Structure 1
Amino acid sequence: MSTYQTLLYYCYSPIENAEEFAATHLEFCKSLGLVGRIIVADEGLNGTVSGTAEACQRYMQEVHADPRFAKTDFKIDVVEEPSFIKMHCRYKAEIVHSGLRDPLVIDPNKETGKHLEPEEFMEMKDRDDVVVLDVRSNYEHSVGRFKNAVTLDIENFREFPEKIKELEQYKDKKILTYCTGGIKCEKASALLLKEGFEEVYQLHGGIIKYGKEAGGKDFEGKCYVFDNRVTVDVNSVNPSVVSTCKNCGTVTSKMINCANPVCNEHFTQCDVCGWEMQGCCSTACMEHPHKREYDGTGYYVKVPQPVNVDKISKRKHKNFPPKETTSL
């Protein structure tokens, strides 16, 4: 039986002709039989790819062979099957959408919070002079977060700069930032430093690496990931469940996508409500004419939507927040 792996990684490193690189890189990934989602920008790479162990090993070797990406830190998960259906590699303005594109404002290659290895983070996180800050979006930290962490009410990481004023009460503390794989912390910690926070740190490799190297101690719930698995376990020391069903309030760790393709909201829902609500987050979504058939998983392969779908209403409806692309 083949052994499959899923690789999570990012690398801030300038890429010339990044759009052309994205097209070439896509063909390379396809030649290895990989599936996944990669974002290429002038500032670097951000991706999750999945395939056989041999293909993943070859991919990591080729990436590390390029001097621009030699420092890339891959987080490797062994999986029963590939974590994606197709292979996508696209050029975008940023490798994580923050709205902070100007390198004169922040540049992760020049200044970020001090990187803490998982064991260092674990040793520091409970000190009285420390604040642990989750820089991820609502749907991510709703299903799992560090014990006593400060979370932000944001639907997308691009809203993070707007929350800086709310964090000023912690300026006399050491700020320990964390996210899924580290990529958001590179920009979040850099912005905090620019805004006058003096002692800013970040969890190197994020929650995923912390789970592998420190057992995930005190991470409550599950970690949201940007692939078909949706969430993964990281805590093997003192695991717990912190999320509840959106519809009935029952404790559950199951996260799905709403069966209404226009909504597609990420939310937690117990199995009982899942079948009763047909995989929808609300009765309004249950009545949508293009509702997808719920099979108990809450995962749907993306298909082109009808041209008459009113996507503007998606953004106006409080249950239809705009979604982020791959972000580690």
Structure 2
Amino acid sequence: MKAYQTLLYYCYSHIQDGEQYTAQHLKFCKAHGLKGRVIIADEGINGTVSGTVEACKAYMDYVYADGRFNATEFKIDEVNEPSFIKIHVRYKSEIVYSGLKNPNYIDPTKQTGKYLEPKEFAEMKDRDDVVVLDVRSNYEHKMGKFKNAVTLDIDNFRDFPAMINELAQYKDKKILTYCTGGIKCEKASALLLKEGFNDVYQLHGGIVKYGKEADGKDFEGKCYVFDNRLAVDVNKVNPVLISTCGNCGTTTPKMINCANPECNKHFTQCAACGEELDGACSIHCKEHPRKRPYDGTGYYVKIPQPVAPKVARV
């Protein structure tokens, strides 16, 4: 058993004291040495946290003890070291930005697509009357996706509502939505139902759970994750690598953030091009005056700027 764990989870649940709870949540995480990113909004909680096995157990107990998050399902990965360097707990308007002018148009606590457990998803996904829909962003599905899945040309999930008209051709099919951990599917499937799609499903627990319970069969490539691992293996049955270097086209499993902080693009890049461009996605970014030092990982931690000392006024 490894010394550390990484927890991926979310829960849609109406919260009345979101800002106050955010401060309390951050205090608990700091007290237990947990690292990660947690978003809290009036519609629920979404996070990835990492720490010792004992700290992660305490964290799960803390979340369940609240009472509002009993539907939370934690996806647990054993890791050799924490998957984050810092802890951020932030209060935002939504735990996943929907892109809707009126976010209340959908409510995942009331209506979403029917849950499919991983083995049910595996049994249904290849039927003729089914369309498997990836609701993630470009950089995610370029790293890995289900075989024959429909993918969307979107940079962020907030762009998903604009794709509804393009998806209208599938209204007579069963729509099986999926994402990394399930959170985006809750909103995507809810919106599809609102827009007249009648037979909508979602992969419960997302790609991560599918890898654990269905051995990742027919998931091609790696799964992009939102921590310093960047991508993880999923398929234990028939793995294949599909991601290619955005510079030279060579097959590569490596994902970086561009070393130019003003670009910071999620980018698949082979080791050779990474070395040649010093972690940048292009020559232009390589020559940027604020380009960050490249250590071979392509993962960067924001460095807090020094705060000027206050000058006493007489």
TM-score, scaled relative to structure 1:
0.91
- Which residue type is aligned with residue 252 of structure 2? T
Aligned counterparts of 2:89 and 2:300: Cα–Cα separation in 1: 20
Contact 1:100–1:106 (CA under 8 A) maintained in structure 2 = no
What residue in structure 1 maps to residue 268 of structure 2?
268
Structure 1 residue ranges without an equivalent (≥5):
307-328
Aligned counterparts of 1:294 and 1:56: Cα–Cα separation in 2: 31
Once the 2 structures are TM-superposed, how far is the Cα of residue 297 of structure 1 from its aligned partner?
1.1
- Which residue type is aligned with residue 58 of structure 1? A
Describe the shift of the 1:267–1:10 C-alpha distance in structure 2 as closer, same or farther (beyond 3 A).
same
After superposition, the C-alpha distances for 1:130-188 in whole angstroms (9 at most, x for unaligned) are 00000000010010000000000000000000000000000000000000000000000
After superposition, the C-alpha distances for 1:232-282 in whole angstroms (9 at most, x for unaligned) are 111111111001000000011100111111111111100111101111111
Structure 1 residue matching 2:61: 3-state secondary structure: helix
Structure 1 residue matching 2:119: 3-state secondary structure: helix
What residue in structure 2 maps to residue 297 of structure 1?
297
What residue in structure 1 maps to residue 310 of structure 2?
none
> Does residue 58 of structure 2 align to residue 58 of structure 1?
yes
Question: % of aligned pairs identical?
Answer: 75
Contact 2:131–2:173 (CA under 8 A) maintained in structure 1 = yes
- Which residue type is aligned with residue 160 of structure 2? F
> Does residue 54 of structure 2 align to residue 72 of structure 1?
no
> Does residue 158 of structure 2 align to residue 150 of structure 1?
no
What residue in structure 2 maps to residue 238 of structure 1?
238
Moved over 4 A (4+): 101-104
What residue in structure 1 maps to residue 182 of structure 2?
182
Once the 2 structures are TM-superposed, how far is the Cα of residue 99 of structure 1 from its aligned partner?
2.7
TM-score, scaled relative to structure 2:
0.95
Structure 2 residue ranges without an equivalent (≥5):
307-314
> Does residue 99 of structure 2 align to residue 99 of structure 1?
yes
What residue in structure 1 maps to residue 30 of structure 2?
30
Once the 2 structures are TM-superposed, how far is the Cα of residue 100 of structure 1 from its aligned partner?
3.6
Once the 2 structures are TM-superposed, how far is the Cα of residue 299 of structure 1 from its aligned partner?
1.2
Contact 1:18–1:41 (CA under 8 A) maintained in structure 2 = yes
What residue in structure 1 maps to residue 195 of structure 2?
195
Once the 2 structures are TM-superposed, how far is the Cα of residue 201 of structure 1 from its aligned partner?
0.1
Structure 2 residue matching 1:67: 3-state secondary structure: coil
Matches within 5 A, 1:156-235: 156-235=156-235
Once the 2 structures are TM-superposed, how far is the Cα of residue 19 of structure 1 from its aligned partner?
0.7
Aligned counterparts of 1:165 and 1:155: Cα–Cα separation in 2: 17
Once the 2 structures are TM-superposed, how far is the Cα of residue 209 of structure 1 from its aligned partner?
0.2
Contact 1:2–1:52 (CA under 8 A) maintained in structure 2 = no
What residue in structure 2 maps to residue 110 of structure 1?
110
Instruction: Output the aligned Cα RMSD.
Output: 1.4
Once the 2 structures are TM-superposed, how far is the Cα of residue 294 of structure 1 from its aligned partner?
1.2
Provide the aligned length of Structure 1 versus Structure 2.
306
After superposition, the C-alpha distances for 1:16-65 in whole angstroms (9 at most, x for unaligned) are 11011101110011111101100000000000000000110111111112
Aligned counterparts of 2:95 and 2:22: Cα–Cα separation in 1: 12
What residue in structure 2 maps to residue 280 of structure 1?
280
Higher RCO, 1 vs 2 (CA within 8 Å, ≥6 residues apart): 1
What residue in structure 2 maps to residue 132 of structure 1?
132
Structure 1 residue matching 2:105: 3-state secondary structure: coil
Structure 2 residue matching 1:142: 3-state secondary structure: helix
Structure 2 residue matching 1:167: 3-state secondary structure: helix
After superposition, the C-alpha distances for 1:193-249 in whole angstroms (9 at most, x for unaligned) are 000001000000000000000000000000000111100111111111001000000
- Which residue type is aligned with residue 257 of structure 1? N
Name whichever of 292-301 and 87-96 sits farther off. 292-301
Contact 1:93–1:101 (CA under 8 A) maintained in structure 2 = no
What residue in structure 2 maps to residue 87 of structure 1?
87
Aligned counterparts of 2:261 and 2:103: Cα–Cα separation in 1: 36
Aligned counterparts of 1:21 and 1:3: Cα–Cα separation in 2: 29
Contact 2:217–2:238 (CA under 8 A) maintained in structure 1 = yes
Name whichever of 214-223 and 64-73 sits farther off. 64-73
- Which residue type is aligned with residue 174 of structure 2? K
What residue in structure 2 maps to residue 44 of structure 1?
44
Once the 2 structures are TM-superposed, how far is the Cα of residue 103 of structure 1 from its aligned partner?
6.1
Aligned counterparts of 1:290 and 1:101: Cα–Cα separation in 2: 35
What residue in structure 2 maps to residue 257 of structure 1?
257
- Which residue type is aligned with residue 241 of structure 1? L
Once the 2 structures are TM-superposed, how far is the Cα of residue 71 of structure 1 from its aligned partner?
1.2
- Which residue type is aligned with residue 290 of structure 2? H
Aligned counterparts of 2:285 and 2:124: Cα–Cα separation in 1: 44
Name whichever of 295-304 and 154-163 sits farther off. 295-304
Aligned counterparts of 1:37 and 1:294: Cα–Cα separation in 2: 23
Aligned counterparts of 1:287 and 1:198: Cα–Cα separation in 2: 51
